[in-house]
Amino acid sequence: MLVERYFTEEGQDPYEQVQWERRDAVITGHDGQPIFEQRNVEFPAAWSQLATNVVASKYFRFPLLSPERESSVRQLIGRVVSAIKFWGREDGYFERDEADTLTQRRIPHRVVPTRHQRRSLEVLPVPPPVA
């Protein structure tokens, strides 16, 4: 399947079109005590604190406090885009070169939270390593 370039320009980095900031994701219980806490996570500046708390607590992969734990929406999007690339190639939807181009710029452009955002993410599992 050939996917024509429409929303992006060659060399355009969709992540550079977003203002990013570091903040803390904290969810407190009825007693005011934290029930979830992840410090210094990277999110688009335009996102609310509620969105930060939900995404960090529900969609960042790997155990809290582990060195592998995701700490940025960029990592989350990268994981999802890698899964799209893997399964698109595995199921014959994309050729290798096309999948690489889609992964680098075009799919992230569609889901990075900007005025250009056209799709939301359904969080996908990490694909198996490509041999």
pLDDT of 28: 97
pLDDT higher than 60, residue 121:
no
| Residues 106-117 pLDDT 10s | 666 666 665 544
Q: Does a structural domain hold residue 9?
A: no
Asked if 54 and 83 sit in the same domain, the reply is no
117 belongs to a structural domain: yes
**Is pLDDT at 91 greater than 60 in this prediction?**
yes
In-domain check, residue 109: yes
pLDDT at 11 over 70: yes
Who has greater pLDDT, 119 or 32? 32
**SS3 at position 99:** helix
In 3D space, the residue among 5, 16, 20 whose CA is nearest the CA of residue 106 turns out to be 5
Asked whether residue 63 carries a pLDDT value surpassing 50, the answer given is yes
- Boundaries of domain holding 85: 72-125
In this predicted structure, the answer to whether residue 120 has a pLDDT above a threshold of 70 is: no
